[in-house]
Structure 1
Amino acid sequence: MSLIASLPEIDTLSSSVFVKHERFEKFIPYHSHTKGQLSYVEGGLAYLQVNDKKYVIPAKHYFWVPQGVTHVLKIGHSGTVLRSLFFYTHDDDSHPFYSEVGIYPINDLLLEMIKYSESWYGHINPGEDQFLFLSVIKNILPEISNKRLPIALPFSENERIKPILDYLLLHISDSHSLQSIGYEFGISERSLSRLFQQTLATSFLQYLKLLRITRSIELMLQTDLSMNEIAYEVGYGSLSAFSEVFMQLTNSRPSDFKKHF
Protein backbone atom coordinates (compact mmCIF):
# COMPACT_ATOMS: atom_id res chain seq x y z
CA MET A 1 0.00 0.00 0.00
CA SER A 2 1.36 3.44 -0.96
CA LEU A 3 1.83 6.23 1.55
CA ILE A 4 -0.97 8.21 -0.12
CA ALA A 5 -3.33 5.27 0.34
CA SER A 6 -2.12 4.88 3.94
CA LEU A 7 -2.83 8.48 4.99
CA PRO A 8 -6.33 7.79 6.43
CA GLU A 9 -4.94 4.90 8.47
CA ILE A 10 -2.12 6.87 10.12
CA ASP A 11 -4.44 8.75 12.48
CA THR A 12 -6.69 5.87 13.50
CA LEU A 13 -4.63 4.98 16.61
CA SER A 14 -3.39 8.03 18.50
CA SER A 15 -0.98 6.19 20.83
CA SER A 16 0.89 4.23 18.16
CA VAL A 17 3.89 4.82 15.92
CA PHE A 18 2.97 4.28 12.27
CA VAL A 19 5.86 2.95 10.16
CA LYS A 20 6.01 3.26 6.39
CA HIS A 21 8.98 2.68 4.05
CA GLU A 22 7.81 3.58 0.56
CA ARG A 23 9.57 3.02 -2.77
CA PHE A 24 8.93 5.15 -5.84
CA GLU A 25 6.38 7.53 -4.28
CA LYS A 26 7.38 10.80 -5.98
CA PHE A 27 4.62 13.24 -5.08
CA ILE A 28 2.41 13.37 -2.02
CA PRO A 29 -0.14 16.20 -2.32
CA TYR A 30 -1.46 18.51 0.41
CA HIS A 31 -2.25 16.54 3.55
CA SER A 32 -1.88 16.63 7.31
CA HIS A 33 -2.09 14.15 10.17
CA THR A 34 -2.49 14.20 13.91
CA LYS A 35 0.89 12.54 14.39
CA GLY A 36 4.35 14.12 14.14
CA GLN A 37 6.26 12.98 11.05
CA LEU A 38 9.94 12.03 10.84
CA SER A 39 11.02 11.24 7.27
CA TYR A 40 14.27 10.47 5.50
CA VAL A 41 14.55 10.41 1.70
CA GLU A 42 17.15 7.90 0.66
CA GLY A 43 19.27 8.64 -2.37
CA GLY A 44 18.60 12.25 -3.22
CA LEU A 45 16.84 15.55 -3.13
CA ALA A 46 13.30 16.26 -1.91
CA TYR A 47 11.10 19.34 -1.54
CA LEU A 48 8.75 20.09 1.33
CA GLN A 49 6.11 22.78 0.94
CA VAL A 50 4.55 24.06 4.16
CA ASN A 51 2.05 26.90 3.95
CA ASP A 52 3.92 29.73 2.20
CA LYS A 53 7.42 28.24 2.26
CA LYS A 54 9.32 25.65 0.24
CA TYR A 55 12.15 23.72 1.87
CA VAL A 56 14.90 21.92 0.01
CA ILE A 57 15.83 18.63 1.68
CA PRO A 58 19.32 17.68 0.50
CA ALA A 59 20.70 14.15 0.48
CA LYS A 60 21.64 12.85 3.94
CA HIS A 61 19.08 15.09 5.66
CA TYR A 62 15.80 14.25 7.39
CA PHE A 63 12.82 16.41 8.20
CA TRP A 64 10.29 16.75 10.99
CA VAL A 65 6.71 17.97 10.46
CA PRO A 66 4.64 18.62 13.60
CA GLN A 67 1.14 17.30 14.07
CA GLY A 68 -1.61 19.12 12.17
CA VAL A 69 0.71 20.94 9.76
CA THR A 70 -0.52 20.74 6.16
CA HIS A 71 2.28 19.99 3.70
CA VAL A 72 3.26 18.71 0.26
CA LEU A 73 6.22 16.43 -0.40
CA LYS A 74 7.95 16.02 -3.75
CA ILE A 75 10.85 13.62 -4.19
CA GLY A 76 13.52 14.17 -6.86
CA HIS A 77 14.34 11.55 -9.49
CA SER A 78 17.36 10.27 -7.57
CA GLY A 79 15.34 9.58 -4.42
CA THR A 80 14.62 5.87 -4.03
CA VAL A 81 12.97 5.27 -0.66
CA LEU A 82 10.89 7.51 1.60
CA ARG A 83 11.34 6.23 5.16
CA SER A 84 8.71 7.69 7.49
CA LEU A 85 7.81 7.29 11.15
CA PHE A 86 4.61 8.94 12.40
CA PHE A 87 4.72 9.43 16.17
CA TYR A 88 2.15 9.76 18.96
CA THR A 89 1.96 13.33 20.26
CA HIS A 90 0.96 13.09 23.94
CA ASP A 91 4.49 14.15 24.99
CA ASP A 92 5.15 16.78 22.30
CA ASP A 93 5.11 19.59 24.85
CA SER A 94 8.27 18.14 26.44
CA HIS A 95 10.51 19.97 23.95
CA PRO A 96 10.12 22.81 21.38
CA PHE A 97 11.64 20.56 18.70
CA TYR A 98 8.34 18.72 18.23
CA SER A 99 6.39 21.89 17.38
CA GLU A 100 8.63 23.23 14.60
CA VAL A 101 9.20 22.20 10.98
CA GLY A 102 12.89 21.45 10.53
CA ILE A 103 15.46 19.96 8.15
CA TYR A 104 18.53 18.36 9.76
CA PRO A 105 21.65 16.44 8.66
CA ILE A 106 21.29 12.77 9.53
CA ASN A 107 23.94 10.98 11.58
CA ASP A 108 24.94 7.32 11.43
CA LEU A 109 23.05 6.40 14.59
CA LEU A 110 19.69 7.77 13.47
CA LEU A 111 20.12 6.42 9.95
CA GLU A 112 20.79 2.89 11.20
CA MET A 113 17.87 3.08 13.64
CA ILE A 114 15.48 4.18 10.89
CA LYS A 115 16.74 1.47 8.55
CA TYR A 116 16.38 -1.12 11.31
CA SER A 117 12.61 -0.57 11.16
CA GLU A 118 12.52 -1.29 7.41
CA SER A 119 10.75 -4.65 7.77
CA TRP A 120 7.99 -3.19 9.96
CA TYR A 121 4.78 -1.72 8.58
CA GLY A 122 1.76 0.02 10.01
CA HIS A 123 0.83 0.67 13.62
CA ILE A 124 3.32 -0.31 16.32
CA ASN A 125 1.48 -0.09 19.64
CA PRO A 126 2.57 0.39 23.26
CA GLY A 127 3.50 -2.95 24.77
CA GLU A 128 5.06 -4.29 21.57
CA ASP A 129 8.83 -4.80 21.56
CA GLN A 130 9.27 -2.56 18.50
CA PHE A 131 7.43 0.31 20.21
CA LEU A 132 10.16 0.80 22.81
CA PHE A 133 12.78 0.98 20.05
CA LEU A 134 10.76 3.56 18.10
CA SER A 135 10.06 5.64 21.21
CA VAL A 136 13.83 5.91 21.75
CA ILE A 137 14.14 7.42 18.27
CA LYS A 138 11.58 10.08 19.12
CA ASN A 139 13.16 10.81 22.49
CA ILE A 140 16.65 11.42 21.08
CA LEU A 141 15.56 13.72 18.25
CA PRO A 142 15.81 16.99 20.25
CA GLU A 143 19.33 16.06 21.36
CA ILE A 144 20.71 15.11 17.94
CA SER A 145 18.79 17.67 15.86
CA ASN A 146 20.88 20.72 16.71
CA LYS A 147 22.08 21.78 13.23
CA ARG A 148 18.92 22.84 11.48
CA LEU A 149 19.27 23.76 7.80
CA PRO A 150 18.07 27.38 7.74
CA ILE A 151 17.05 27.54 4.06
CA ALA A 152 13.34 28.08 3.39
CA LEU A 153 12.22 29.73 0.18
CA PRO A 154 9.08 31.90 0.50
CA PHE A 155 6.31 30.86 -1.85
CA SER A 156 3.07 32.41 -3.10
CA GLU A 157 0.38 31.63 -5.66
CA ASN A 158 -0.47 35.32 -5.84
CA GLU A 159 -1.19 36.00 -9.51
CA ARG A 160 0.80 39.22 -9.53
CA ILE A 161 4.04 37.88 -8.08
CA LYS A 162 4.07 34.31 -9.39
CA PRO A 163 5.17 35.31 -12.96
CA ILE A 164 7.96 37.38 -11.40
CA LEU A 165 9.19 34.43 -9.32
CA ASP A 166 9.06 32.17 -12.37
CA TYR A 167 11.07 34.74 -14.35
CA LEU A 168 13.74 35.02 -11.64
CA LEU A 169 14.19 31.25 -11.55
CA LEU A 170 14.36 30.99 -15.34
CA HIS A 171 16.93 33.81 -15.53
CA ILE A 172 18.71 33.12 -12.26
CA SER A 173 22.20 33.63 -13.71
CA ASP A 174 21.39 37.18 -14.86
CA SER A 175 22.00 40.33 -12.86
CA HIS A 176 18.74 41.56 -11.27
CA SER A 177 17.59 44.60 -9.36
CA LEU A 178 14.28 46.14 -8.36
CA GLN A 179 14.76 48.55 -11.26
CA SER A 180 15.40 45.88 -13.91
CA ILE A 181 12.58 43.59 -12.78
CA GLY A 182 10.21 46.52 -12.39
CA TYR A 183 11.01 47.56 -15.97
CA GLU A 184 10.51 43.98 -17.23
CA PHE A 185 7.03 43.76 -15.69
CA GLY A 186 5.93 47.38 -15.90
CA ILE A 187 5.90 47.92 -12.12
CA SER A 188 7.48 50.76 -10.19
CA GLU A 189 10.35 49.90 -7.86
CA ARG A 190 8.31 50.97 -4.86
CA SER A 191 5.30 48.87 -5.85
CA LEU A 192 7.52 45.86 -6.58
CA SER A 193 9.24 46.17 -3.22
CA ARG A 194 5.86 46.38 -1.48
CA LEU A 195 4.59 43.34 -3.43
CA PHE A 196 7.47 41.19 -2.17
CA GLN A 197 6.93 42.30 1.42
CA GLN A 198 3.17 41.79 1.29
CA THR A 199 3.13 38.38 -0.43
CA LEU A 200 6.40 36.81 0.73
CA ALA A 201 7.16 38.72 3.94
CA THR A 202 10.69 39.35 2.72
CA SER A 203 12.57 41.82 0.57
CA PHE A 204 13.34 41.39 -3.12
CA LEU A 205 17.08 41.09 -2.46
CA GLN A 206 16.65 38.56 0.35
CA TYR A 207 14.37 36.43 -1.82
CA LEU A 208 16.90 36.51 -4.63
CA LYS A 209 19.65 35.36 -2.24
CA LEU A 210 17.50 32.49 -0.98
CA LEU A 211 16.55 31.47 -4.51
CA ARG A 212 20.16 31.41 -5.67
CA ILE A 213 21.45 29.45 -2.69
CA THR A 214 18.58 26.98 -2.93
CA ARG A 215 19.36 26.46 -6.61
CA SER A 216 23.07 26.06 -5.83
CA ILE A 217 22.27 23.21 -3.41
CA GLU A 218 20.28 21.49 -6.16
CA LEU A 219 23.20 21.85 -8.57
CA MET A 220 25.64 20.43 -6.00
CA LEU A 221 23.52 17.29 -5.73
CA GLN A 222 22.36 16.89 -9.31
CA THR A 223 25.41 17.84 -11.40
CA ASP A 224 29.18 17.51 -11.55
CA LEU A 225 29.72 21.26 -11.91
CA SER A 226 32.66 22.76 -10.04
CA MET A 227 31.96 25.27 -7.28
CA ASN A 228 33.13 28.08 -9.57
CA GLU A 229 30.70 26.95 -12.27
CA ILE A 230 27.84 26.71 -9.76
CA ALA A 231 28.59 30.24 -8.51
CA TYR A 232 28.30 31.66 -12.03
CA GLU A 233 25.29 29.46 -12.83
CA VAL A 234 23.29 31.04 -10.00
CA GLY A 235 24.29 34.59 -10.75
CA TYR A 236 27.42 35.35 -8.73
CA GLY A 237 30.38 37.02 -10.41
CA SER A 238 32.94 35.27 -8.24
CA LEU A 239 33.31 32.24 -6.02
CA SER A 240 34.13 34.45 -3.05
CA ALA A 241 30.88 36.42 -3.39
CA PHE A 242 28.89 33.18 -3.68
CA SER A 243 30.70 31.62 -0.72
CA GLU A 244 30.04 34.66 1.45
CA VAL A 245 26.27 34.56 0.84
CA PHE A 246 26.17 30.77 1.18
CA MET A 247 27.90 31.03 4.56
CA GLN A 248 25.53 33.79 5.62
CA LEU A 249 22.44 31.68 4.91
CA THR A 250 23.60 28.16 5.84
CA ASN A 251 26.41 28.71 8.37
CA SER A 252 28.65 26.59 6.14
CA ARG A 253 31.07 27.12 3.28
CA PRO A 254 29.78 25.63 0.01
CA SER A 255 32.81 23.32 -0.24
CA ASP A 256 32.22 22.02 3.30
CA PHE A 257 28.51 21.62 2.61
CA LYS A 258 29.19 19.54 -0.49
CA LYS A 259 31.75 17.36 1.33
CA HIS A 260 28.97 16.21 3.63
CA PHE A 261 27.45 14.34 0.71
Structure 2
Amino acid sequence: MALSFDKVYQDVQRFRLGAYCSTSEKGEIATPFHTHNKGQFIYAEKGTLHIATADRQYFLPVEHFIWIPRGVTHRMWTNNATVRMFTIYFDNQHLEDDFYQTTGVYMVNNLLHEMIRFVLSWEGHIGKSEFSSYQFLQALKAILPGVSKTRQLPLLGFIKPRDERLQEVIDYMRKHLDEKLELGQVAGKFGFSTRSLSRSFNAEGTSFIEYLQSLRIIQSMELLAEKDFSISRIAAMVGYDSITAFSHTFMRFTGIRPSAYTKGLLS
Protein backbone atom coordinates (compact mmCIF):
# COMPACT_ATOMS: atom_id res chain seq x y z
CA MET A 1 0.00 0.00 0.00
CA ALA A 2 1.33 3.48 -0.90
CA LEU A 3 2.39 5.59 2.07
CA SER A 4 1.39 9.24 2.59
CA PHE A 5 3.82 12.00 1.69
CA ASP A 6 4.02 13.24 5.30
CA LYS A 7 4.84 9.80 6.68
CA VAL A 8 7.46 9.11 4.02
CA TYR A 9 9.04 12.52 4.57
CA GLN A 10 9.31 12.01 8.34
CA ASP A 11 10.61 8.46 8.03
CA VAL A 12 13.22 9.42 5.44
CA GLN A 13 14.54 12.31 7.51
CA ARG A 14 14.86 10.01 10.51
CA PHE A 15 16.93 7.05 9.30
CA ARG A 16 20.73 7.28 9.00
CA LEU A 17 21.86 4.07 7.27
CA GLY A 18 20.16 1.95 4.66
CA ALA A 19 17.47 2.86 2.14
CA TYR A 20 13.76 3.63 2.10
CA CYS A 21 11.35 2.44 -0.62
CA SER A 22 8.03 4.12 -1.42
CA THR A 23 5.37 3.88 -4.14
CA SER A 24 3.21 6.83 -5.25
CA GLU A 25 0.07 6.20 -7.29
CA LYS A 26 -2.87 8.03 -8.85
CA GLY A 27 -3.99 11.11 -6.94
CA GLU A 28 -0.99 11.17 -4.61
CA ILE A 29 1.66 13.04 -6.58
CA ALA A 30 1.46 16.75 -5.84
CA THR A 31 3.97 17.87 -3.25
CA PRO A 32 4.97 21.26 -1.86
CA PHE A 33 8.57 22.44 -2.12
CA HIS A 34 10.65 20.34 0.27
CA THR A 35 14.10 18.85 0.70
CA HIS A 36 15.51 15.54 1.92
CA ASN A 37 18.72 14.71 3.74
CA LYS A 38 19.04 11.64 1.47
CA GLY A 39 19.65 11.13 -2.24
CA GLN A 40 16.40 10.38 -4.08
CA PHE A 41 15.93 7.93 -6.97
CA ILE A 42 12.53 8.09 -8.70
CA TYR A 43 11.47 5.64 -11.41
CA ALA A 44 8.42 6.28 -13.60
CA GLU A 45 6.56 3.00 -14.05
CA LYS A 46 3.33 4.55 -15.40
CA GLY A 47 2.52 8.13 -16.30
CA THR A 48 4.85 11.11 -16.24
CA LEU A 49 6.14 13.48 -13.58
CA HIS A 50 7.26 17.10 -13.40
CA ILE A 51 9.96 18.04 -10.89
CA ALA A 52 10.82 21.69 -10.20
CA THR A 53 13.95 22.82 -8.37
CA ALA A 54 14.93 26.39 -7.52
CA ASP A 55 16.18 27.14 -11.04
CA ARG A 56 15.03 24.34 -13.37
CA GLN A 57 12.07 22.17 -14.22
CA TYR A 58 12.59 18.51 -15.16
CA PHE A 59 10.30 16.06 -16.95
CA LEU A 60 10.31 12.35 -16.08
CA PRO A 61 8.79 10.05 -18.75
CA VAL A 62 7.88 6.39 -18.43
CA GLU A 63 10.82 3.96 -18.16
CA HIS A 64 13.16 6.75 -17.01
CA PHE A 65 14.53 7.72 -13.63
CA ILE A 66 15.62 10.95 -12.02
CA TRP A 67 18.32 11.35 -9.40
CA ILE A 68 17.82 14.25 -6.97
CA PRO A 69 20.82 14.87 -4.68
CA ARG A 70 20.34 15.34 -0.95
CA GLY A 71 19.61 18.91 0.05
CA VAL A 72 18.06 19.95 -3.30
CA THR A 73 14.78 21.79 -2.74
CA HIS A 74 12.12 20.51 -5.14
CA ARG A 75 8.43 19.89 -5.69
CA MET A 76 6.64 17.33 -7.88
CA TRP A 77 3.35 17.05 -9.75
CA THR A 78 1.76 15.15 -12.61
CA ASN A 79 -0.69 15.97 -15.40
CA ASN A 80 -1.55 12.33 -16.05
CA ALA A 81 -4.61 10.52 -14.69
CA THR A 82 -2.78 7.20 -14.37
CA VAL A 83 0.49 7.41 -12.46
CA ARG A 84 2.79 5.03 -10.64
CA MET A 85 6.18 6.16 -9.37
CA PHE A 86 8.65 4.11 -7.35
CA THR A 87 11.14 5.97 -5.13
CA ILE A 88 14.22 4.87 -3.23
CA TYR A 89 15.86 7.21 -0.73
CA PHE A 90 19.50 6.26 -0.18
CA ASP A 91 21.77 6.92 2.78
CA ASN A 92 24.76 9.21 2.34
CA GLN A 93 27.47 6.57 2.06
CA HIS A 94 29.57 6.07 -1.08
CA LEU A 95 28.56 9.26 -2.90
CA GLU A 96 32.00 10.13 -4.28
CA ASP A 97 30.99 10.02 -7.97
CA ASP A 98 29.92 13.37 -9.45
CA PHE A 99 26.68 11.74 -10.59
CA TYR A 100 25.32 11.81 -7.04
CA GLN A 101 25.77 15.60 -6.81
CA THR A 102 23.75 16.48 -9.93
CA THR A 103 20.04 16.36 -10.70
CA GLY A 104 19.40 14.52 -13.96
CA VAL A 105 16.95 12.34 -15.90
CA TYR A 106 18.06 9.08 -17.51
CA MET A 107 16.58 6.15 -19.42
CA VAL A 108 16.84 2.82 -17.61
CA ASN A 109 18.89 0.06 -19.27
CA ASN A 110 17.98 -3.63 -19.22
CA LEU A 111 19.98 -4.45 -16.09
CA LEU A 112 18.56 -1.55 -14.08
CA HIS A 113 15.06 -2.35 -15.32
CA GLU A 114 15.27 -5.91 -14.01
CA MET A 115 16.70 -4.74 -10.68
CA ILE A 116 13.85 -2.25 -10.29
CA ARG A 117 11.25 -4.90 -11.11
CA PHE A 118 12.70 -7.05 -8.32
CA VAL A 119 12.19 -4.34 -5.67
CA LEU A 120 8.95 -2.68 -6.87
CA SER A 121 6.89 -4.22 -4.07
CA TRP A 122 9.26 -3.15 -1.28
CA GLU A 123 8.02 -0.49 1.15
CA GLY A 124 9.62 1.33 4.05
CA HIS A 125 13.09 1.35 5.60
CA ILE A 126 15.58 -1.39 4.77
CA GLY A 127 18.64 -1.40 7.02
CA LYS A 128 21.80 -3.45 7.34
CA SER A 129 20.00 -6.03 9.48
CA GLU A 130 18.14 -7.10 6.32
CA PHE A 131 21.46 -8.04 4.78
CA SER A 132 20.52 -9.39 1.34
CA SER A 133 17.92 -6.69 0.62
CA TYR A 134 20.27 -3.96 1.85
CA GLN A 135 23.11 -5.22 -0.35
CA PHE A 136 20.83 -5.45 -3.36
CA LEU A 137 19.77 -1.81 -3.01
CA GLN A 138 23.37 -0.71 -2.53
CA ALA A 139 24.27 -2.53 -5.76
CA LEU A 140 21.42 -0.74 -7.54
CA LYS A 141 22.72 2.60 -6.32
CA ALA A 142 26.27 1.72 -7.37
CA ILE A 143 25.39 1.14 -11.04
CA LEU A 144 23.57 4.47 -11.49
CA PRO A 145 26.68 6.52 -12.45
CA GLY A 146 27.49 4.02 -15.19
CA VAL A 147 23.93 4.10 -16.53
CA SER A 148 23.98 7.89 -16.53
CA LYS A 149 27.00 8.09 -18.84
CA THR A 150 25.17 6.54 -21.79
CA ARG A 151 21.46 6.95 -21.03
CA GLN A 152 20.88 10.65 -20.23
CA LEU A 153 17.65 12.01 -21.65
CA PRO A 154 18.58 14.55 -24.38
CA LEU A 155 15.58 16.62 -23.25
CA LEU A 156 17.30 18.48 -20.42
CA GLY A 157 15.61 20.45 -17.65
CA PHE A 158 13.75 23.65 -18.44
CA ILE A 159 15.06 26.96 -17.22
CA LYS A 160 13.01 28.85 -14.66
CA PRO A 161 12.91 32.36 -16.18
CA ARG A 162 14.14 35.24 -14.06
CA ASP A 163 12.06 37.66 -16.14
CA GLU A 164 8.36 37.62 -15.17
CA ARG A 165 7.36 38.84 -18.65
CA LEU A 166 9.16 35.89 -20.20
CA GLN A 167 7.29 33.55 -17.86
CA GLU A 168 4.01 34.99 -19.16
CA VAL A 169 5.17 34.27 -22.71
CA ILE A 170 6.05 30.69 -21.80
CA ASP A 171 2.70 30.15 -20.07
CA TYR A 172 0.94 31.36 -23.22
CA MET A 173 3.03 29.07 -25.42
CA ARG A 174 2.24 26.09 -23.20
CA LYS A 175 -1.52 26.72 -23.53
CA HIS A 176 -1.46 27.15 -27.33
CA LEU A 177 0.83 24.38 -28.52
CA ASP A 178 -1.70 23.20 -31.09
CA GLU A 179 -1.44 26.55 -32.89
CA LYS A 180 1.20 27.83 -35.29
CA LEU A 181 3.35 29.89 -32.92
CA GLU A 182 5.92 32.19 -34.47
CA LEU A 183 8.44 34.44 -32.75
CA GLY A 184 7.14 37.72 -34.21
CA GLN A 185 3.49 36.94 -33.49
CA VAL A 186 4.14 35.90 -29.88
CA ALA A 187 6.49 38.84 -29.30
CA GLY A 188 3.88 41.36 -30.48
CA LYS A 189 1.19 39.86 -28.27
CA PHE A 190 3.27 40.61 -25.16
CA GLY A 191 4.78 43.94 -26.16
CA PHE A 192 8.22 42.63 -27.13
CA SER A 193 10.02 43.32 -30.35
CA THR A 194 11.11 40.18 -32.19
CA ARG A 195 14.72 40.93 -31.34
CA SER A 196 14.10 41.62 -27.63
CA LEU A 197 12.11 38.40 -27.11
CA SER A 198 14.79 36.43 -28.91
CA ARG A 199 17.42 38.01 -26.64
CA SER A 200 15.34 37.15 -23.55
CA PHE A 201 15.37 33.46 -24.46
CA ASN A 202 19.06 33.60 -25.36
CA ALA A 203 19.83 35.12 -21.96
CA GLU A 204 18.35 31.98 -20.39
CA GLY A 205 20.60 29.73 -22.49
CA THR A 206 18.00 28.66 -25.05
CA SER A 207 16.05 30.00 -28.03
CA PHE A 208 12.38 30.57 -28.78
CA ILE A 209 12.13 27.67 -31.22
CA GLU A 210 14.12 25.29 -29.00
CA TYR A 211 11.92 26.06 -26.00
CA LEU A 212 8.75 25.72 -28.07
CA GLN A 213 9.85 22.34 -29.40
CA SER A 214 10.68 21.18 -25.87
CA LEU A 215 7.20 22.13 -24.67
CA ARG A 216 5.63 20.29 -27.60
CA ILE A 217 7.61 17.10 -27.06
CA ILE A 218 6.89 17.05 -23.32
CA GLN A 219 3.16 17.46 -23.89
CA SER A 220 3.26 14.73 -26.54
CA MET A 221 4.92 12.35 -24.06
CA GLU A 222 2.19 13.10 -21.51
CA LEU A 223 -0.48 12.39 -24.13
CA LEU A 224 1.23 9.21 -25.29
CA ALA A 225 1.31 7.99 -21.67
CA GLU A 226 -2.49 8.29 -21.51
CA LYS A 227 -2.83 5.91 -24.52
CA ASP A 228 -6.03 7.67 -25.67
CA PHE A 229 -4.83 8.98 -29.06
CA SER A 230 -2.85 7.80 -32.07
CA ILE A 231 0.64 9.17 -32.74
CA SER A 232 -0.62 11.13 -35.76
CA ARG A 233 -3.42 12.68 -33.69
CA ILE A 234 -1.01 13.65 -30.92
CA ALA A 235 1.39 15.18 -33.46
CA ALA A 236 -1.43 17.50 -34.58
CA MET A 237 -2.49 18.23 -31.00
CA VAL A 238 0.97 19.61 -30.19
CA GLY A 239 1.30 21.69 -33.33
CA TYR A 240 2.92 19.51 -36.01
CA ASP A 241 1.48 19.46 -39.55
CA SER A 242 3.61 16.44 -40.46
CA ILE A 243 4.03 13.21 -38.51
CA THR A 244 7.51 12.93 -40.08
CA ALA A 245 8.56 16.29 -38.63
CA PHE A 246 7.11 15.29 -35.27
CA SER A 247 8.95 11.97 -35.30
CA HIS A 248 12.28 13.60 -36.17
CA THR A 249 11.90 16.22 -33.42
CA PHE A 250 10.80 13.59 -30.89
CA MET A 251 13.88 11.54 -31.75
CA ARG A 252 16.18 14.54 -31.34
CA PHE A 253 14.82 15.42 -27.90
CA THR A 254 14.37 11.93 -26.46
CA GLY A 255 16.73 9.65 -28.36
CA ILE A 256 13.91 7.35 -29.57
CA ARG A 257 11.05 7.47 -32.08
CA PRO A 258 7.50 8.01 -30.78
CA SER A 259 6.58 4.53 -32.04
CA ALA A 260 9.37 3.00 -29.91
CA TYR A 261 8.29 5.07 -26.91
CA THR A 262 4.72 3.83 -27.35
CA LYS A 263 5.88 0.21 -27.51
CA GLY A 264 7.66 0.76 -24.18
CA LEU A 265 4.38 1.98 -22.67
CA LEU A 266 2.62 -1.17 -23.79
CA SER A 267 5.29 -3.65 -22.66
Superposed CA offset, 1:76-132 (max 9, x none): 32114x422111223111x3322222223344412223225x2x413x333432322
Counterpart of 1:137 in structure 2 is 140
Superposed CA offset, 1:35-85 (max 9, x none): 1111224432221112332222222322211122111111332114x4221
Which of 66, 82, 93 aligns to 2:69? It is: 66
- 8 Å CA contact 2:46–2:82 kept in 1: the answer is yes
How far the C-alpha of 1:203 sits from its partner, in A, is 1.2
Dislocated runs of 4+, deviation >6 Å:
none
Counterpart of 2:6 in structure 1 is 4
Counterpart of 1:213 in structure 2 is 217
- 8 Å CA contact 1:3–1:20 kept in 2: the answer is no
Corresponding letter in the other structure for 2:118: M
Corresponding letter in the other structure for 2:139: V
- Residue 187 of structure 1 pairs with residue 189 of structure 2: no
Indicate the RMSD between aligned Cα atoms, in angstroms: 2.2
Name the CA distance, whole Å, in 1 between partners of 2:206 and 2:252.
16
Which of 228, 232, 235 aligns to 1:231? It is: 235
- 8 Å CA contact 2:47–2:222 kept in 1: the answer is no
TM-score, normalization: structure 1? 0.87
- 8 Å CA contact 2:154–2:252 kept in 1: the answer is no
- Residue 126 of structure 1 pairs with residue 128 of structure 2: yes
Corresponding letter in the other structure for 2:181: H
- 8 Å CA contact 1:103–1:148 kept in 2: the answer is yes
Name the CA distance, whole Å, in 2 between partners of 1:2 and 1:63.
20
- 8 Å CA contact 2:67–2:102 kept in 1: the answer is yes
- Residue 149 of structure 1 pairs with residue 153 of structure 2: yes
Secondary structure of 1:83's counterpart equals: strand
Q: Which moved more, 1:71-80 or 1:162-171?
A: 71-80
Corresponding letter in the other structure for 2:42: S
How far the C-alpha of 1:205 sits from its partner, in A, is 1.3
- 8 Å CA contact 1:154–1:207 kept in 2: the answer is no
Corresponding letter in the other structure for 1:163: E
Residue segments in structure 2 that go unaligned for 5+ positions in a row: none
Q: Which moved more, 1:132-141 or 1:18-27?
A: 18-27
Corresponding letter in the other structure for 1:103: V
Name the CA distance, whole Å, in 2 between partners of 1:191 and 1:136.
50
How far the C-alpha of 1:22 sits from its partner, in A, is 4.2
Name the CA distance, whole Å, in 1 between partners of 2:50 and 2:189.
29
How far the C-alpha of 1:219 sits from its partner, in A, is 1.5
Corresponding letter in the other structure for 2:221: I
Counterpart of 2:205 in structure 1 is 201
